[in-house]
Amino acid sequence: MKAYRAAILRFADDHSALYEEDGLLVVGPDAQGRQVVRAVGAYSALAGNYPGVAVEHLPGRIIAPGFIDLHIHFPQTDVIGSPAEGLLPWLENYTFPHESRFVDGDYSAGVAKVFLDELLRNGVTTALAFATSHPQSVNALFTESQARGMRMITGKVLQDRHSPDGVRDLTEQSLIDTEQLIQRWHGVDRLGYAITPRFAPSCTEAQLRGAGELAARYPKVWIQSHVAENLEEVRWARELFPQARSYLSVYDDFGLMRERAIYAHCIHFDDEDRALMRATGTAAAVSPTSNLFLGSGFFDYEGADRVGFKYGLASDVGGGTSFCPFHTMLAAYYVAREGQTKPGLSLSPEQLWWQHTAGAAQALGLEGTAGNLQPGCEADFVVLNPNCTPLLARKSSHARNLDELLFGMIVLGDDRLVERTVISQGPPSRMAP
């Protein structure tokens, strides 16, 4: 066992933040040998209970749950910042040509290393990630994640039509490859598989049907895709699937909406779509930097909460512009303020932080396992230094309450704020210099 003394942020079941100014986090193996939080609370209350356990004292630091990125594309690490008129030209001109390079396993492994280093440098300890249509890219990301002991979910992209040579796959083979990858990787260490139709316009009905059959056969496997991101895309999907009630309902028609299904964007929805999300237990990956960069639109927070479906925050790199959770939370704040049809909301810093940690875990069906520091949770966490820059140090010293402290970090924070990222298994991934 090992203990850490610092300020500690975690979340209660009602989503509110719990904060110990002088806290103790005790980490040790559970009955299965996983490194989990064994105890957490005030240092004064807990310290006497763990004689002989080494305590690392981190004065002035804040320990918080590792962030969860609910939607990111590892092969788009080098696509960030490619401007286009909108989603479809961006895919055609930048993304598909770049993703075709991942046919090469060595190239995939090289990018997977950079991608995971970048996640960890930014305090992201779990992600639901797209690979490419090449099984080699999936093997590369799982292999590198396993070497780091990370909790990582990914899958081979399915796209058997409206996709250029180099990324387009073959219907039957794509489904065989998917099942083989599920059997090889799902549930190994902390790795999970996600059945990954790119989006309905890039998949034939036969491919979607096959994906739905796999989703029924493997109910613990995740499903990930994109939906209702861009108005052109919505129009195209409606043309291709005229019998469906809406773009979203195409996925339901093929058995691709259920618990552990996560759809990126979910912008151009009506209330029937929202009710379908809720009824099926499907979650949205809200991707504000991507939506602002590609001019896609704004996630409707009021609509989501009124109808009551699950959502969490995501970078959507490389449509998204940053791996940094602070940047994503700030963009979500702007979207809630200015991008709503009803008068703007003011999301609290606690709500934003929850959406990128415990809320994202809930969307994945991993509440109590990831994204929090309550007893029993896997011990993936960040050590934040709120004095890491002169301006943030001033801001933090003036904070009169938790909201002000968290807001300062969301608005002024970047990778310098993340002094260390600790992964539950294995050694710390990044020590302070």
- The residues that touch ligand GUN, with contacts defined as CB under 6 A, are 73, 87, 91, 95, 198-199, 226, 229, 290, 316, 319
User: What is the pairing mode between strands 261-265 and 283-286?
Assistant: parallel
Q: Which is nearer to ligand GUN, 91 or 423 (CB)?
A: 91
264 binds Zn ion (CB under 5 A): yes
Least separation in angstroms between residue 153's CB and ligand GUN is 17
Q: Which C-beta is closer to ligand GUN: that of 125 or that of 225?
A: 225
> Alpha carbon of 71 to those of 127, 328, 364, 369: distances in Å?
7, 12, 11, 19
Cα–Cα distance measured from residue 293 to residue 85, given in angstroms and rounded to the nearest whole number:
10
Least distance (Å) between residue 415 CB and Zn ion: 22
Stretch that binds Zn ion, among 85-93, 258-266, 341-349, 372-380 (CB under 5 A): 258-266
According to CB under 5 A, which one of 69, 253, 316, 380 is a site residue for Zn ion?
A: 316
Could you tell me the smallest distance in angstroms from the CB atom of residue 36 to ligand GUN?
34
CB count within 10 Å of CB 422 equals: 24
Is residue 266 close enough to count as binding Zn ion by CB under 5 A?
no
Strand partners, 3: 26, 55
Alpha carbons 6 and 63: distance in angstroms, whole number: 6
Least distance CB 111 / ligand GUN (angstroms): 15
In sequence order, the 6+-apart residues with CB closer than 8 A to the CB of 372 are: 10, 11, 65, 357, 358, 361
Question: Residue 370, Cα to own-chain centre: how many angstroms?
Answer: 12
Smallest separation (angstroms) from ligand GUN to the CB of 95: 5
From the list 245-253, 295-303, 309-317, 336-344, the region that binds Zn ion by CB under 5 A is 309-317
Partner touching 199 among Zn ion, ligand GUN, none, CB below 5 to 8 Å by kind:
ligand GUN
One-letter amino acid of 135: P
Residue 69 binds Zn ion, judged by CB under 5 A: no
Residue closer to ligand GUN by CB (options 94, 381) is 94
By beta-carbon proximity to Zn ion, the closer residue of 198 and 274 is: 198
3-state per-residue secondary structure call for 135-198 = HHHHHHHHHHHHHHCCEEEEECEECCCCCCCCCCCCHHHHHHHHHHHHHHHCCCCCEEEEEEEC
Q: Per CB under 5 A, does 99 bind Zn ion?
A: no
Residues that bind Zn ion (CB under 5 A): 264, 316
